[in-house]
Amino acid sequence: MKIYFNNSLRDDLALPATGGGWLLGDGAFESLRTYSGRAFALERHLDRLEQTLNELKIVAPSRAQLVQGVEETIAANPASPFGRLRITVLGDGNWMVTHIEYKPEARFLKLCLSPIKRYSLDLTSGMKTISYQASAVALRQAASKGFDDAVFINERGEVMESALANLLWFKDGRWFTPELNSGCLPGVVRALLVENFGVIQAPLLVKELENVDGLALTSSVRQIVGVQAFESYLYSNSQ
């Protein structure tokens, strides 16, 4: 695999053993699907990346540099029909782009409730940072119990998102998603669904998850994936 690092393609990559944003979990990233070499909603992802870097006070590469890096990386690492593109910018100024093949999930998922409490006003709430410890632990805990992903709730007991994706629920013939003030990530697919397909932003208490008609997860890599179960509750539309 060719890695695009600081304005050039490389066959391998060595990061410093001392210092550097990767040791501190200091940085931001974007991850998205490609379709036969075309990046999904790239401009929206770059907009969000630049906003996150600005809030983290990290100097960002120029838009032209990022676009060139994406184009060269995809060309050097063909993936068809689907690929997974990742753009990472570290707090020390280093940045990289990778592109690998991606195989979509062909099954409904099982979710559990994460015991890790998230807070809607945390510094990094709503940001896609490389400090992914809470999600990594939640996923390991979920896997140990036979689940695919875990649902986070905030200090008000409201559903935020899963460890890897935004969340949608179906109720009374309409689709909903948590409000941004829940602390969830402002996902690109989530935004497109709200803007173009009538998905409604609303709060949802975790105790109400068993009263909805269906669940789905959405992200720029997964797109939309159905949910079969939350904890022991099975959704009838997935059977």
Domain boundary, last residue among 79, 101, 123: 101
Tell me, what's the pLDDT at 177? 98
- Is residue 124 over pLDDT 70? yes
Q: Of the given ranges (19-28, 62-71, 102-111), which has the lowest mean pLDDT?
A: 19-28
Token pair recorded at residue 17:
């053993």
Structure tokens at 41: 């909603």
Q: Which segment of 73-77, 130-134, 200-204 scores lowest on mean pLDDT? A: 130-134
Q: CA-CA distance, 62 to 70, in Å (whole number)?
A: 13
CATH code where residue 26 lies: 3.30.470.10
Same domain, 221 and 125: yes
Is the pTM higher than 0.95?
no
H/E stretch holding 233: strand 233-234
List the beta bridge partners of residue 34: 39, 83
Number of domains in the chain: 2
Return the SS3 of 22.
Answer: helix
pLDDT of 238 strictly over 60: no
Which CATH number does the domain housing residue 196 bear? 3.20.10.10
With bands split at pLDDT 50, 70 and 90, how would you rate the model's confidence at 239? Answer: very low
Domain region containing 121: 109-238
Domain end point (choices 101, 133, 167): 101
